[in-house]
């Protein structure tokens, strides 16, 4: 008589138990990620010493400005924020050559609006950019319902220097309708039809980049518009 490929019912039970443990562990990791698993220390280090004013990052006299048109639920925006954005901050924003302006769009559903209002509430305390990074670091599948009040508050608690009570009182209701409407109008005027769209503006003109561009592509655009 041929033996079972698994050897015995006992081995089968052990295999099932191991699989169950692995799945349970994965679920725990995903649960922690979706409720604010980004690194507070990494965010603090990235922005340390860089001027922040509302949704603008960097020195006001920087010769080049990068306008970021993004939706917090957009997966390609998340890719850009995680892979390219920190390198740009370290290489160009920190030394005063570039400043960044975030033009937050609400294109993908109600959760996009909730995330945008939470980030804009952080901007009221000049803490927009750390919250921006934490949102993208903890991004999950769009319109999956992960942008809950607990999720947003968890990120606020990880945002260095943010008064969470004040943030909580500002982010609800019709707050920031005018800011979101203004960003939408700017996007339309600039011919922005999708996210992410990056507009690099300097003394030698403008360059529009569509999609999750890598560091070299954005760096090339900066050098082209920079008049120095």
pLDDT digits (tens, 9 = 90+) for 151-202: 999 999 999 999 999 999 888 766 798 999 999 999 999 999 899 999 999 9
Give residue-wise pLDDT tens across range 131-154.
999 999 999 998 999 999 999 999
Residue 71: per-residue pLDDT: 96
Where do the structural domains in the chain lie, given as residue ranges? 1-33, 37-225
Indicate the pairing of strand 98-104 with strand 64-70: parallel
In CATH, 37-225 is 3.40.30.10 = yes
Q: What's the pLDDT tens digit per position in 14-40?
A: 544 443 443 333 333 333 333 333 578
Phi, psi of 157 (to 5 degrees): -70, -20
Do residues 147 and 115 lie in contact, with contact meaning Cβ atoms separated by under 8 Å? yes
* CB 133 within 8 Å of CB 100: no
pLDDT(228) > 80: no
More confident residue, 18 or 218: 218
DSSP E strands, the chain: 52-53, 56-57, 64-70, 98-104, 197-202, 205-210
Confidence of residue 227 (pLDDT cuts 50, 70, 90): confident
% of the chain beyond a pLDDT of 90: 75
Does the pLDDT value for residue 219 go beyond 60? yes
CA distance 85 to 36: 20
Q: Distance (Å, rounded) from C-alpha 77 to C-alpha 69? A: 9
Mean pLDDT, rounded, of the chain: 85
pTM to 2 decimal places: 0.80
Q: Are strands 197-202 and 56-57 parallel, antiparallel or unpaired?
A: unpaired
User: Per residue in 37-71, pLDDT tens?
Assistant: 357 888 899 999 999 999 999 999 999 999 999 99
């Amino acid at each position: 008589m041929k033996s079972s490929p698994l050897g015995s019912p006992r081995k089968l039970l052990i295999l099932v138990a191991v699989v169950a443990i692995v799945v349970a562990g994965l679920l725990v990791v995903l649960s922690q990620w979706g409720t604010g698993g980004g690194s507070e220390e990494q965010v603090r280090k990235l922005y340390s010493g860089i001027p922040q004013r509302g949704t603008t990052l960097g020195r006001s006299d920087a010769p080049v400005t990068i306008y970021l048109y993004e939706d917090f639920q957009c997966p390609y925006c998340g890719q850009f924020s995680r892979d390219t954005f920190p390198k740009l901050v370290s290489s160009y924003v920190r030394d005063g050559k570039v400043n960044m302006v975030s033009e937050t769009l609400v294109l993908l559903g109600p959760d996009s609006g909730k995330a945008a209002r939470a980030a804009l509430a952080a901007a009221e305390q000049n803490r927009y950019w750390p919250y921006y990074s934490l949102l993208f670091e903890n991004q999950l599948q769009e319109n999956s319902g992960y942008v809950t009040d607990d999720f947003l508050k968890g990120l606020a608690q990880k945002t260095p220097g943010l008064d969470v009570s004040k943030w909580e009182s500002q982010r609800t209701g019709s707050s920031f309708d005018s800011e979101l409407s203004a960003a939408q109008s700017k996007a339309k005027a600039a011919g922005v039809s999708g996210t992410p769209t990056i507009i690099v503006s300097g003394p030698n003109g403008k360059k529009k980049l569509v999609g999750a561009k890598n560091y070299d592509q954005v760096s090339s655009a900066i050098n082209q518009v920079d008049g120095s």
